[in-house]
Amino acid sequence: MILERHELQLHGHRVSYRTAGSGPALLLLHGIASSSETWERGAALLCERFTVIAPDLLGHGGSATPRGDYSLGAHASGARDVANALGQERVTVVGHSLGGGIAMQFAYQFPERTERLVLVSSGGLGREVHALLRAAALPGADYVLPALTSRPLVGIGRGIGGLLGRVGLEPGGDLGVLARGFASLDNPGSRQAFLHTVRAVIEPGGQRVSAGDRLALAATLPTLIVWGERDSIIPAAHGAAARAAMPGSRFEVFPGAGHMPHDDDPGRFAELLTDFYETTDGARLEHDHWRPALGDPA
């Protein structure tokens, strides 16, 4: 089954999304400089069992690129609004890379809407992140991006990958993922949205946002963590550490896969996600579920 692309207006902005299937709702959130297309191969299999909803985050894919808030909280609110618009009160939220950070924020902000949490090569679980993404947080990146994403380079899908090749780094594997992401930033709006999003979560020294102090709060939320063994953008050690900090969570590593395990092996990903859903009971949390765990005010 092919995911069908649609558009809706949220708060005056165009939001593109893909959807298909029927059954319990999966809300799939992509990574930075990516789009809902990243889920296409796995979602085509998941549609046989679930209603799949995969939005393009604001500033990405076919969605608008407004001036505004590109924080994790804003993206989480936008994801909730897409689910609302499509009549989905409760979802299993699945996030890849940046989308993983948004998924965790979604679960924290809207526990009453979240049945399960699935983190795929997720951001927000440790400091380390690829040097090219750290570089995007540097002063002056605003002036470098247009050169890396100029029309002649983008026209053949090379972007930064072409520059990497000149210094002996072939843009295959995870470098290819980064190259395609940079190549998608082919207009001023998408470049500014990318920079605002990067700088909300990354600084030159690494990831600046960490969910580490809140992971124990997820003890009552069924959680699946998926990683590629050879992920060079965000190391798999982050997933292992998160597993240890999240009682009852499940951690699965895809041998030989990089930063995109759901795309490297979509069949296994769909089977794993389906098994996780069918062997867990969806959480039934209240909107103030976290309050007792936060301690009494001084």
Instruction: Please write the tens of the pLDDT for every residue from 84-129.
Output: 999 999 999 999 999 999 999 999 999 999 999 999 999 999 999 9
Residue-range domain boundaries for the chain? 4-126+210-294, 131-203
Q: Verify whether residue 69 is a known catalytic residue.
A: no
**Per-residue model confidence (pLDDT) at position 155:** 46
Rounded percentage of the chain residues whose pLDDT exceeds 90: 69
Q: Which of 132-146, 153-167, 180-194 has the lowest mean pLDDT?
A: 153-167
Of 35, 36, 97, 121, the catalytic one is 97
Task: List Cβ neighbours of 198 (8 Å cut-off, separation of 6 or more).
Answer: 32, 133, 136, 137
Residue 184 main-chain phi, psi, to 5 deg:
-75, -10
* pLDDT score for 50: 97
Residue 262 annotated to the active site: no
Q: Which pLDDT band, with edges at 50, 70 and 90, does 136 fall under?
A: confident
Number of residues in the chain: 298
The answer to whether residue 231 is catalytic is yes
Element (H, E) at 53: strand 51-55
Higher pLDDT, 140 or 7: 7
Tell me the CATH architecture of domain 4-126+210-294: 3-Layer(aba) Sandwich (3.40)
**pLDDT reading at 185 higher than 90:** no
Is pLDDT above 90 for 242?
yes
In this structure, the strands spanning 202-203 and 51-55 are unpaired
Catalytic residue among 238, 259, 262, 289: 259
Catalytic residue, from 174, 231, 263, 265: name it. Answer: 231
User: What is the value of pTM for the model shown?
Assistant: 0.91
